[in-house]
Amino acid sequence: MKIGVVGLGYWGKKVAREYMELKERGEIKRVVLCDVIDSNVNDMKNECPDCEFVSDYRDMIDDVDGVHICTPNATHYNIVNDFISAGVNVLVEKPMTLKYSEARKLAYKAYNKNVVLAVGHIFRFNNAVRKVKEMYESGELGDLYYAKLQWSVLMESPSERDIVYDLAPHPFDILNFIINDWPVRISAVGNAYRRENYEEVAYINAEFEDGFIANIEVSWIYPEKIRRAELMGSKKFVRLEAVKQEVKIFDLNTKDWENLEIVPNNTILDEAYHFITAIKNKQTPINDGFNASENVRVLEATVRAMREGKTENLEW
């Protein structure tokens, strides 16, 4: 099997290294890397002299079994469409696209072409997140009342990008992964402080059919990198530190705190391995295109609610 990586920026380099590791393990035979920026290509040539390199992704379309796309969000639709049209399996970073209509088109095209379409909702491969999902499904948390999620960091705001599409895909996907549901009502407020356009901070309220509610804070103006989810259940409260892969629970009966033992895993490597396994076995990945397109639908609704000052209702 030959896997390509398109886009060798900060995240693309990380992704490429994991496919190099899978090649060393014998899971795939070859790796081809692509970027239009010479310095990015040269960096990876030093790390992987036996990798193949191209400057135009179209040059690898007829030569790879699967491709992992790590390019800017606005380019996702066209690049993914080109590969799927040629019958190539795709893993594209989140958000899948910037429009729900485009995301659905890609999901259906992949289905009709019988190719794998996966999306980089990487926290589905996080051992701590998986532990919380297991606790919820077993009934250990009881009935869920509400959740609070914070995705924040202090950084220069990326140009031509708003905070919702950049950071909110993860909190929404983590909730969906744990409870297997999407919100039916969304309201939000947000603002830009260091520039005129594109929000840098947003507070999102999401309501679910059964009364469960969630508050999501996303920010590029916060003096600490936080990737945290807290869920309040009728039996237990759980605090999840997603990057650190730490889980702490509070038992409402005993009033005791407990730190759970979680063995951290390499989520990028595990996601890449899941992708190539799905290709080999013609399986639907847990981060498939249809589910990921609904994530885009929720992002669209959030931005509308935030900019129009109204509650968005969603039917599923």
Q: What percent of the chain has pLDDT over 70?
A: 100
Please tell me whether residues 171 and 301 are part of one structural domain.
Answer: yes
Please tell me whether residues 117 and 174 are part of one structural domain.
Answer: no
Please tell me whether residues 163 and 278 are part of one structural domain.
Answer: no
- Which DSSP category does 288 fall into? B
Q: What are 18-59's pLDDT values in tens digits?
A: 999 999 999 999 999 999 999 999 999 989 889 999 999 999
Please tell me whether residues 112 and 180 are part of one structural domain.
Answer: no
Q: What are 98-130's pLDDT values in tens digits?
A: 999 999 999 999 999 999 999 999 999 999 999
Q: What is the pLDDT of residue 160?
A: 83
Q: What is the CATH number of the domain that holds 173?
A: 3.30.360.10
Q: What is the pLDDT of residue 159?
A: 85
Mean pLDDT of 240-266: 97
Please tell me whether residues 209 and 108 are part of one structural domain.
Answer: no
Please tell me whether residues 19 and 94 are part of one structural domain.
Answer: yes
Please tell me whether residues 135 and 257 are part of one structural domain.
Answer: yes
Please tell me whether residues 128 and 259 are part of one structural domain.
Answer: yes
Instruction: Tell me how far apart the alpha carbons of residues 207 and 205 are, in angstroms, rounded to a whole number.
Output: 7
Q: Is the pLDDT of residue 308 over 90?
A: yes
Residues paired with 67 in a beta bridge? 4, 90
Please tell me whether residues 137 and 234 are part of one structural domain.
Answer: yes
Buried b (16+ CB within 10 A) or exposed e, 115-150: bbbbbbbbbbbbebbbbbbebbeeeebeebeebbbb
Average of per-residue pLDDT values in the chain: 97
Number of domains in the chain: 2
Q: Give yes or no for a contact between 106 and 97, defined as CB atoms under 8 angstroms apart.
A: yes
Owning domain of residue 197? 124-265+297-313
Please tell me whether residues 133 and 257 are part of one structural domain.
Answer: yes
Q: What is the pLDDT of residue 11?
A: 96
Mean pLDDT of 294-314: 97
Q: What is the pLDDT of residue 140?
A: 98
Q: What is the CATH number of the domain that holds 20?
A: 3.40.50.720
Q: Give yes or no for a contact between 67 and 60, defined as CB atoms under 8 angstroms apart.
A: yes
Look at the alpha carbons of 271, 7, 11, 105 in this order and tell me if their dihedral is positive or negative: negative
Please tell me whether residues 274 and 259 are part of one structural domain.
Answer: no
How confident is residue 156, by pLDDT bands cut at 50, 70 and 90? Answer: very high
CB atoms within 10 A of CB 104: 18
Mean pLDDT of 271-284: 97
Please tell me whether residues 256 and 129 are part of one structural domain.
Answer: yes
Q: What are 177-234's pLDDT values in tens digits?
A: 999 999 999 999 999 999 988 999 999 999 999 999 999 999 999 999 999 999 999 9
